Amino acid sequence: MEILPNITIQHYLWLSTTLFALGVFGVLLRRNAILMFMCIELMLNAVNIALVAFSKVHGDTSGQVFVFFIMVVAAAEVAVGLAILMMLYRNLRTTDTDALNNLKG
């Protein structure tokens, strides 16, 4: 028995599209590197929702396996990105991406 029988793939795709658009706007409009990382993660999760929805509709688990690999890569990306961001904050005392111009040689 399904808990939410009226939910179709269109609902999942609208949710995915909305979350992805919010992530894109967040990356384009924000200057804080931590918020930019959060918006990138939001975009990755929006893609994950779409992949799981298509996987469920087609009855194939390959989309769900692909989501697992996306989550592993995203976790590694965040770990490396936050390490770089910590070094940036240690040297410049800011997480503002405009301050990265000071690092040019």
Go through the domains of the chain in sequence order and give each one's CATH number.
31-95 (1.10.287.3510)
Given a cut of 60, whether residue 61 has pLDDT beyond it is yes
Question: What pLDDT score was predicted for residue 105?
Answer: 61
Q: What is the pTM of this model?
A: 0.83
CA distances 61 to 8, 17, 22, Å, are 18, 22, 28
Given a cut of 90, whether residue 26 has pLDDT beyond it is yes
Percentage, residues of the chain above pLDDT 90: 55
Q: Which two tokens stand for residue 66?
A: 């692909």
Given a cut of 90, whether residue 93 has pLDDT beyond it is no
Phi and psi, residue 38, nearest 5°: -65, -40
Helix (H, G, I), strand (E, B) or coil at 30: coil
